[in-house]
Structures are given as C-alpha cells and as structure tokens.
Structure 1
Amino acid sequence: MTERSVIDSREGYLAAVEAIAAGDGPLAVDAERASGFRYSQRAYLIQVFRRGSGVFLFDPPAIGDFTELQAVMAPEEWVLHAASQDLACLREVGLDPERIFDTELAARLLGMPRVGLATVVEEKLGVVLRKEHSAADWSTRPLPESWLEYAALDVELLVDVRDALEADLAAAGKTDIARQEFEATLARPERAARVDPWRRLSGIHAVRGGRGLSVARELWEERDALARELDVAPGRLIPDASIVAAVRSQPASMRALAAQKDFSGRASRSEIERWWAAIERGRTLSDPPVTRGTGEAMPPPRAWAERNPEADARLKAARPAVVSVAEQLNLPVENLLTPDFLRRLAWTPPDPATPETIAEVLVQLGARPWQIDATAQTIADAFVAARQTRDDTESDPS
C-alpha cells in the first residue's frame, strides 16, 4: 500500500499544482469536513486525482490560498460524488468548478437502487471500498495513515466510475438529462439562512407554551453562540435532549440545574452560569415566541382534504401519474420532479391549467427543461381528470 502524506507547505502545494497541470483528463475531487465535531463546515482535507498525475491530499487550513490550483483546474471537468455536499466548502477556499460530473447523481438518473460511493464503485468496477472513516474528525492533526488511504481511495477510482456511468447514460439516452442536472447543481444558490433555526431543536414538540419555547430559544441561541466561538459542534457542548430536559423540569435555581442528571454534555457544568442566565432571560422576556412557527400558507397535504378539497383531488390524481412517468424513465420520482413543485401546482394551479401554463410555473419554480417536457402534459391531464371526477360526483350524489 502506497504511503500517503498530506500537503501542508507552500512548496509542496506548488509542486502538486505543477504535477496536476501535467496530467490528463477530468479531475476527481473530494473534501472531508469535521461534521459533528466542529461548528464550521470548512474542508479539513481536499483530495484531487488526475490520470498521469496521481492523488494529492491538501491541508486547506495550512495552505490557505488555492488560487494557483483553481487556475489549473477551472477549465477542466471535475468529478465529484454528491457534489452538492462539497461545493460550499470547496468554494470557501476558492475552488469553484465550471463543469462537473456528479457520480451519485448519475447513478440516481440511471435508477440504481443504492448510490453511495462504495456501492457504485463495487457495482461498476468490482472493487470493494471500506467506509469506516466517513464520520471521522478530519480536523485531527496529524491524520492517521489509515484515514489518508481511505481519503485517497475516494478519488483514485472516481474517474473510472465516471467513464462507466457516462457510457450507461449514453446507452439509456440520458446524457442530456444528466448534463442539465449537473448544470443545475452548479447553479443552485446557497441555502438561505433558516428562519428561527432553534425550532429544529430535537424534541421541541415536547415543550409546551410560549414561556417554555422562550427558554428553549434562549438556551439554543446561547449554545450556538458558544459553539461558534469555540468552533465546536453545538451538540458536544450540551445535546438537544439536555435543553429540552432543562425546559421541562423548570429548575428553581442554578444549583438545581447543575444537579439535574439529564442535563449533560461536556459544557453542562463548566458553563452552568451561562445556561442559567439563558433560562432566566427566557422566563422574563415579554415577547415569547408563538407556539407554531410562521410557516407557509400551504398546509401539509394531510390537511388538504378538509382545507382545500379541490387541491387534494388534484394532488391525489397527479402524484401517481408522475410516479408512473418516473417508473417509465427508470429514475427516482424526486429526481423527475421535486415533490414540493407538484404540491405548489396542486394547491395553486394556473388558470387555465394547460400544459403550457403548467410549464411556465415549473420554470419559475426551478424545474429543468427535461423535467418539464416529461411532466407538464401528465400533470395537466391529471388536473383535468380530478376536476371531471369532482364534477361527476357533485352531479350524481348517489
């Protein structure tokens, strides 16, 4: 087994850039973060492979500036597996592709039932990859040799996988579909900051009343601020369960909070004054949050039959029709059309709901041309059928 080393010096980095420039063909790229250990989602290792060059393992915090590597790589196709997971942290250090081939997305479009990298590599190349370090703390220094070997294998076979999947896409007549999906992945804007992120607190449904929600919010925000300052995953300071337990037990004093066994975590006692201050703030705030978040006007589909029977009928008619199209194309229905797009169309359809007007709405929602071509007529037909069924029922109550 080849001994791997991390490139963490300016001299080593520039030598690697020169070697990569002398290689040939697409570049396989991957990034390792420290999710679950660090607050940030920065890359702590970036792997690059190119035929004729080899594998290079870069230490982003040590290198800092990747301008030269970006200049070499930008004009070439980058091969990534689940690109949407890595693009943000790559862009954070200045590495931003112009063209990609996403092997996970390609596998989905080909209807493969399992699309994890190890499964795709085994099916296409007959090579078994071990994934024992996928959840490791990649901010660790020095990185163990076994981790580096794992990281190298993530890119070393990726170009071969890309070639096999590209041939399969061509045979299935899905080359253009894949191109549109890859371009959409690149063009997708960064996710907007979530409104009231504290409402995603695990177990928040067990908290009752505005005052309880106010305490939960203050504890969550205090933990988030400390986690950001220390660059530690919030759950490592105090887990969500501890926040909910503190809210529900309503401790009468800081001493009582410290004595609470289910208030745990590495910072549960060392920062007890911080947590107690947050609880006191939450109890005294004059504007506690409302019980429910300020969600969209469109309710969940389970409430449609009562709230909007016409929309419920449209959705129930269109959903199986779209599923049928996905089955004909041998791909997951969520890749054929984002489920939320169909729900929005069913809740507030254009008037009249023709294939053309439905296509216009889908364009506004962000559907790709191939998705619109495959579904607009089917959705329009389903809406007509739903209306006809309702008219027949109303005219013949028996």
Structure 2
Amino acid sequence: MHGGSPVTDRVVIDTRADYLRAVEEIAGGEGPVAVDAERASGFRYSQRAYLIQIFRRGSGVFLFDPPAIGRFDELQAVIGSEEWVLHAASQDLACLREVGLDPSTVFDTELAARLLGLPRVGLGTVVEEKLGIVLRKEHSAADWSTRPLPDSWLEYAALDVEFLVDLRDVLADDLVAADKVEIARQEFDATVARPEKAPRVDPWRRLSGIHSVRGGRGLAIARELWESRDALARERDVAPGRLIPDTSIVAAVRTQPTSMNALAAQKDFSGRASRSEIDRWWAAIERGRTTTDPPVARGTGETLPPPRSWADRNPEADARLKAARPLLIARAEEMQLPVENLLTPEFLRRLAWIPPEPTTPETISEVLEQLGARPWQIDATAQSIAEAFVAAHQTPVAAESDES
C-alpha cells in the first residue's frame, strides 16, 4: 500500500443491498468520516461522481458506484452530522450533493496545509511529509466512468481516503501549534456554506484563444460553434473538447471557410467529430455569419479589466492596488500562509477599483464582508488596505511607480 504491489481485493459496491449493508457498517464505526469522489473530467460532459470512497475507523474503506446506487440518503442520515474529512473539499461537494451527500462540518486537509504554509499541498505530498507514506497518484486523471474499474485504480481510490483521518489528526495538532485553529474553522465553514456558482454569462467567452478573434462577425461564429458543440456534448455526455477542441473553433473563425467542403478540407479543424458532424459545424458557421445580433467585443457582467491596463484606464486605482499589494504580501509572510488565502485577490482589486468613501478601516471592513471575506481575513487586512489607499491618494506618483 505504501509503494509496493497494489492490493487487488477492493470491491465496488454497486447494488442497493450491498450499499445498505455498508451503511450499517459505517454507522458502527467511530469518529470523523473520510470522503472522496472521482469524476470523469475531460472525458464526460457531466461532473457527476463515478466513484465515492468512504473510510471510517472501526468500519474500513468502502467504494461506492453512484450511477448504480442512485441516491445516498441512508448514508447521509448516518454521517451527515459527523465531521467529514476531504482533501480540496470544494472540488467534490457539488457532485456529492448531487447524490444526497451534504456535510454539516468538514476538515479540509488541503486547505489546512495551505493555512499552515506548506509549499506543496497535493494529497500525495502532504501524506508523505506528515505520515511518511508514499501514495501512487498515477490515476488521478483517469476516466472513472470506465466499467469495470481496474484493480489498480480501485487501490488508488481506496488509498485516497484510507489515511485521511490520520492526516487530519496530524494537521489539527499543527493548527493548534500555529494558533490557526479559529482561522481554519472559519475557512472550513465557508467551504461548506459557499453557494453554488451561478451560470456564467456568455460561457463561450472562456473559449481558449478567443482573445485572438477580432470583430463581431468572428465572435458570432465562435459563439455559434461553441454553443453547437456544447449541445452535442451534453446530449452525448462527452467532454466538449473531445468532439472538436477549442483550437479547431478558433481555426474555423480565423479562416472563415466559404463552403462545407472547404471546412472539411481544413487540416487544423480536427477532433473525433470534426468530419462526422460536419453538417452541424457548417450550419453553426452560417448562423454566425448571417446573424443580425453579433456579440459585442467584451462580455457583459462585472468583470474588471486586467490590472496591467489600469495605469492607463484608472491611474488612481492602479496606484491603490500597487500600494496595497506589498503590505498584504508582507502580512501573509508574517502569518506564514499564501497571500491568496490571506485575501482573495479579486476582493482587493474590487476595493482598489472603487474604494469606499470615506476610506477607513471600518468602511473597508464593510465592503470586504459584503464581498465574502471571513472575519479573520478582515481583521488581518482591513487596516493595511485602508492605510495603503490613503497613502496612494496622498502620493499618487510614487505609488504609481511601485512595480511590486
């Protein structure tokens, strides 16, 4: 299990009867419950869980097949009020909630490692550093919708939870020693309480390479191709990039072929469905070419311009941002944690772009709270941000020349 030959007796629980027996065994265990989920990102359209792993002391490891089992309400009734131990909980909570599994409290070992200032926070690295156990991580990007799952994959999945509770105990002691227990509690609670992300406005604008597309007509073609691909991917439950990659969409926009044959002959228009669905792609290009409602150059919404453009577009905001950053970096170093965990970078940018009036620690604190900063983050940063903004206002030229 620690780098030798994999165990081959791991069994996937894929019937209701076996599932209910496993729930009884888990109920007979004690203490926190380690939880993990495996998806098929990059292979499937959906982000559903294709394997859910559970470990509890006194019970052992259980590997569940969610598509076969369906809802996990009985398991939720048993473990819902217990502390769940996950590594990078925010990545798994959505797919767990989809099948009825929803924690009331968590201990996130990845987040704890970040708060403790560990330079690398992957599960394998943290387990090796804290427990002296080497975990193989070769199947992390596997297609977990595969059936049957190979024995080596099952062993990998089991080990992802088998040592989580031990790791939790070591990290909990480290948090006590670092006087960061309350910080961790607030972060863990925020992870559980974080609302589901709202659907993106114009999600096609995240198309890789879209920045190179010029003009409303080109953007319209890119939009139509993206939406057509997305609809087909959803229908087939296939990752969109496996039908045609983003590079193919951008290539078609760049050349704007004049016929279906020209599109089919285009070598850089590739992908498993590039030719079998050529009618679909050509129809999308035609819609984009003839639309009377082409998209505007920049997306709607509340996205701020990139900071590199602030010096020209909003010099005062640029000065505020450049004055505040070094102070937050110094505060993060003092607290021995990453600056992005001290305060979400987007929060600082929003404050710098439009600061509250008057600019005081109290008004900064109010805005940070509205944005979603935790109390400990506000306590650690509001004073410094207010001082930096005031100093930038008083000496804008000096602040603007600060390259940090």
* Superposition TM-score tier, normalisation by shorter sequence: over 0.9
Instruction: Report deviation, 1:100.
Output: 0.1
- 1:91 aligned partner, one-letter code: R
Question: Alignment partner of 1:89: what SS?
Answer: helix
Residue in structure 1 matched with residue 271 of structure 2 by the alignment:
265
Return the match for 1:304 from 300, 307, 310.
Answer: 310
Residue in structure 2 matched with residue 396 of structure 1 by the alignment:
none
- 1:273 aligned partner, one-letter code: D
- 2:308 aligned partner, one-letter code: R
Superposition pairs of residues 71-90 of structure 1, within 5 angstroms:
71-90=77-96
Residue in structure 2 matched with residue 313 of structure 1 by the alignment:
319
Residue in structure 1 matched with residue 402 of structure 2 by the alignment:
none
Note if contact 2:329-2:339 (Cα within 8 Å) is conserved in structure 1: yes
Of 242-251 and 14-23, more deviation after overlay is shown by: 242-251
Q: What is the number of residues matched between the two proteins?
A: 393
Instruction: Report deviation, 1:267.
Output: 0.9
Query: Given the alignment of the two structures, is residue 114 of structure 1 paired with residue 120 of structure 2, yes or no?
Result: yes
Alpha-carbon separation, structure 1, partners of 2:104 and 2:149: 31
Residue in structure 2 matched with residue 140 of structure 1 by the alignment:
146
Query: Given the alignment of the two structures, is residue 329 of structure 1 paired with residue 321 of structure 2, yes or no?
Result: no
Question: Alignment partner of 2:395: what SS?
Answer: helix
Alpha-carbon separation, structure 1, partners of 2:123 and 2:73: 29
Of 371-380 and 135-144, more deviation after overlay is shown by: 371-380
TM-score normalised by the chain length of structure 1: 0.96
Query: Given the alignment of the two structures, is residue 173 of structure 1 paired with residue 200 of structure 2, yes or no?
Result: no
Query: Given the alignment of the two structures, is residue 29 of structure 1 paired with residue 35 of structure 2, yes or no?
Result: yes
TM-score normalised by the chain length of structure 2: 0.95
- 2:239 aligned partner, one-letter code: A
Superposition pairs of residues 243-262 of structure 1, within 5 angstroms:
243-262=249-268
Residue in structure 2 matched with residue 360 of structure 1 by the alignment:
366
Alpha-carbon separation, structure 2, partners of 1:297 and 1:85: 23
Residue in structure 2 matched with residue 102 of structure 1 by the alignment:
108
Instruction: Report deviation, 1:300.
Output: 2.3
Alpha-carbon separation, structure 2, partners of 1:260 and 1:315: 46
Superposition pairs of residues 191-210 of structure 1, within 5 angstroms:
191-210=197-216
| 1:290-331: CA deviation from partner (whole Å, max 9, x where unpaired) | 222225374322222222222222211111001111000000
Of 359-368 and 292-301, more deviation after overlay is shown by: 292-301
| 1:19-73: CA deviation from partner (whole Å, max 9, x where unpaired) | 0000010000000000000000000000000000000000000000211000001
- 1:80 aligned partner, one-letter code: L
Query: Given the alignment of the two structures, is residue 151 of structure 1 paired with residue 157 of structure 2, yes or no?
Result: yes
Residue in structure 2 matched with residue 225 of structure 1 by the alignment:
231
**RMSD of Structure 2 on Structure 1 (CA):** 1.4
Runs of 4+ in structure 1 over 6 Å off:
none
Alpha-carbon separation, structure 1, partners of 2:384 and 2:10: 53
Alpha-carbon separation, structure 2, partners of 1:385 and 1:246: 50
Of 290-299 and 310-319, more deviation after overlay is shown by: 290-299
- 1:217 aligned partner, one-letter code: R
Return the match for 1:55 from 61, 81, 84.
Answer: 61
Alpha-carbon separation, structure 1, partners of 2:194 and 2:303: 25
Instruction: Report deviation, 1:288.
Output: 1.1
Alpha-carbon separation, structure 1, partners of 2:11 and 2:289: 53
Residue in structure 1 matched with residue 243 of structure 2 by the alignment:
237
Question: Alignment partner of 1:331: what SS?
Answer: coil
Question: Alignment partner of 1:176: what SS?
Answer: helix
Alpha-carbon separation, structure 2, partners of 1:2 and 1:160: 23
Alpha-carbon separation, structure 1, partners of 2:397 and 2:292: 52
Question: Alignment partner of 1:25: what SS?
Answer: strand
The change in CA–CA distance for 1:50 and 1:365 in structure 2 (over 3 A counts) is: same
Alpha-carbon separation, structure 1, partners of 2:326 and 2:61: 46
- 2:29 aligned partner, one-letter code: G
Alpha-carbon separation, structure 1, partners of 2:146 and 2:161: 20
Alpha-carbon separation, structure 1, partners of 2:321 and 2:242: 42
Query: Given the alignment of the two structures, is residue 45 of structure 1 paired with residue 56 of structure 2, yes or no?
Result: no
Alpha-carbon separation, structure 1, partners of 2:334 and 2:99: 42
Note if contact 2:223-2:288 (Cα within 8 Å) is conserved in structure 1: yes
Query: Given the alignment of the two structures, is residue 338 of structure 1 paired with residue 344 of structure 2, yes or no?
Result: yes
| 1:58-113: CA deviation from partner (whole Å, max 9, x where unpaired) | 00000002110000010100000000000000000000000000000000000000
Unpaired runs of 5+ residues, structure 1, are 394-398
Question: Alignment partner of 2:37: what SS?
Answer: strand
| 1:198-235: CA deviation from partner (whole Å, max 9, x where unpaired) | 11111112222211111111111000000000000001
Unpaired runs of 5+ residues, structure 2, are 1-6, 400-404
Question: Alignment partner of 1:28: what SS?
Answer: strand
Instruction: Report deviation, 1:254.
Output: 1.2
Question: Alignment partner of 2:13: what SS?
Answer: coil
- 2:54 aligned partner, one-letter code: V
Residue in structure 1 matched with residue 4 of structure 2 by the alignment:
none
Q: Percent identity, aligned pairs only?
A: 81
